[in-house]
Amino acid sequence: MTEGGEKNILVVDDEVNMRQLLKRVLGERGFQVDLLADGRRAIEKIAKNPDYYHVIMLDIRLPGKNGIEVLRKIREVNSDTAVIMMTAYESLETAIEAIREGAYDYLVKPISIDEILISVHRALERKLLQQENVYLQSQVENQYCFDNIIGKSDKMQEVYRLIKNVLSSPAPVLLEGESGTGKELVARAIHFNGMKKDQKFVAVDCGALPENLIESELFGHKKGAFTGASHDKIGLFEAANGGTIFLDEICNINASTQAKLLRVLQEGEIKRVGEVQYRKVDVRVISATNRDLKEEVNKGRFRDDLFYRLNVIHIKLPPLRERTGDIPLLAAHFLQSYSQKVGKRVGRIEEEVMNLLVNYPWPGNVRQLENEIKKMVTFVADGSDITVQYVSREIHDADHIQRYGDNRDGSPLKMKVAGLERDLILEALKKNKWNKSRTAATLGLSRKGLDKKIQRYGLDRRVKQGKKKR
């Protein structure tokens, strides 16, 4: 990359007039333009400095080597360089071959100045987004990633600081945060990077355990202790002996179990249900809750002495809506992770999609964002970018309400007009049996204009379903 924001463009065309036109048009817009007349020299020049040119404008018919051959060599040297193919001989077969070989665009001569500028600017925008995605991914893999906990925001940096401070301590940790904020990830990070990393990590969802069995599950039982106790059973605390037990949704345990848990923390011992003797255990306790545990104490639903035993080290996990700057990092991480998992080559998340993700409040926090990206990867075609058509209706609706107000309570004119336009387009598509060209003509729109509106109103899926039913 060059300094000062300058963008370098190489024009390879055997027509003198075309070379001079492109140099003048692009030079006037601040681009640094180099000119060549044949393919061999172009390959040699690019091979010497593969990263120098941001965009290469390449004629198909060249002396020495044709444009497709040059394109292949460029892609071998630097697959990220944006190549715009040009030709005076329009051929669908050649266009398909050029795109298949990795060309960004395909322009047919005579080319208007507007076409040139639009194509070059779009190619540069794509290049910039690719670089941003690489940067985000590098951050995910380096300083902003701690055992799958991702974030560069101030609040997440404080979480990292606290985690690192407790790694060498056996003290109990209390994690508070809304559902989906990653409490178990933090618990695992503490364990697997701490003193007990070679020992067991046992996770328990206290909210999922039946109240009449929770003591048996945690502390074990003796054969015959209650109906159905057909054999001695080891409890989860004993299973975790020497390691860490993670008690998720700790506020759900009953008063009797709270008293026994307090003894574990005070004395380091448990008693199986139906037994009289105590057993020593050495277990680090990390607990978590999506409620304000201090408030539960004030309401008399949780023992205050147990609260203070659990709350030796307190880590508050922020909801995703309070760290929106982390959303691009998280989205990039989940996109790469699930693409690899399903064996797909998924491109980038388009800027419009990222804006929707950043502006959405995420009531389900990081877990909801992860599921959204997972769904996008599932439905996107192999080799394609993530576009707005793959965004959930819930997120689209939230964006519309944010922009125009909630039409259920008398929305502003702009929202009503948008709704009417969407209904008219849908009705026209149905009447024209989902044929876009006929629908565009009926509505007085260009085909490209109709496509934009179909995408804006999230009608892509309706169109595909309609075509299948024909």
Domain ranges of the chain: 3-140, 147-318, 324-469
* Span of 60-64, 141-145, 312-316, 440-444 with lowest mean pLDDT: 141-145
Mean pLDDT across the chain, nearest whole number? Answer: 86
pLDDT in tens, 309-337: 999 999 999 999 999 989 999 999 999 98
Q: Copy the structure tokens of residue 235.
A: 């409890």
Using CA atoms, how far apart are residues 355 and 328, in angstroms rounded to an integer?
Answer: 9
Report the alpha-carbon angle 174-178-183, nearest 5: 45
Place of tokens 């389900």: 364
Identify the architecture of domain 3-140 in CATH: 3-Layer(aba) Sandwich (3.40)
Per-residue pLDDT for 164 more than 80?
Answer: yes
Out of 76-80, 187-191, 367-371, 413-417, which region has the weakest mean confidence (pLDDT)?
413-417
pLDDT at 255 over 90: yes
d(CA 424, CA 416): 12
Structure token digits, residue 240: 């975790």
CATH class of 147-318: alpha beta
Task: Report whether 355 contacts 391 (CB < 8 A).
Answer: no
**What one-letter code names the amino acid at 310?**
L
Provide the 8-state DSSP code for 341.
Answer: H
Two tokens at 248? 């998720």
Q: In angstroms, rounded to a whole number, what is the distance separating the alpha carbons of residues 451 and 410?
A: 29
| Digit-coded pLDDT (tens) for 165-211 | 999 889 999 999 999 999 999 999 999 888 888 889 999 999 888 88
Rounded Cα distance, 225 and 229, in Å: 6
Distant-in-sequence contacts of 424-431, Cβ < 8 A, 24+ apart: 425/450, 425/453, 425/454, 425/457, 425/459, 426/459, 426/462, 429/459, 429/462, 429/463, 429/466, 430/466
- C-alpha–C-alpha distance, residues 13 and 28, integer Å: 19
The whole-angstrom separation of Cα 227 and Cα 387 is 57
User: Each residue of 448-460: b (16+ CB within 10 Å) or e?
Assistant: eebeebbeebbbe
Are the beta carbons of 213 and 205 closer than 8 angstroms?
Answer: no
For 43-97, the pLDDT digits (tens) are 889 888 888 888 999 998 888 778 888 998 888 888 778 899 998 877 777 777 8
Indicate if 324-469 has the same CATH topology as 147-318: no
Give how far the C-alpha of residue 345 lies from the chain's centroid of Cα atoms, to the nearest Å: 15
Q: What is the structure's pLDDT at 383? A: 87
| Long-range contacts from 161-164, C-beta under 8 angstroms, 24+ separation | 162/313, 162/315, 163/189, 163/190, 163/193, 163/315
CB atoms within 10 A of CB 125: 12
The SS3 call for residue 86 is strand
Task: Give residue 469's pLDDT.
Answer: 66
pLDDT at residue 369, as a whole number: 96
Average pLDDT over residues 273-295: 94
pLDDT in the model for residue 412: 46
What CA–CA distance (Å, rounded) separates 118 from 84?
Answer: 11
With a cut of 50, say whether residue 408 has pLDDT above it. no
Which residues are within 8 A (CB) of 158 and not within 5 positions of it... i.e. 6 or more apart? Answer: none
CATH class for domain 324-469? Answer: mainly alpha
Beta-carbon contacts of residue 349 (< 8 Å; ≥ 6 apart): 133, 331, 332, 335, 357, 385, 386
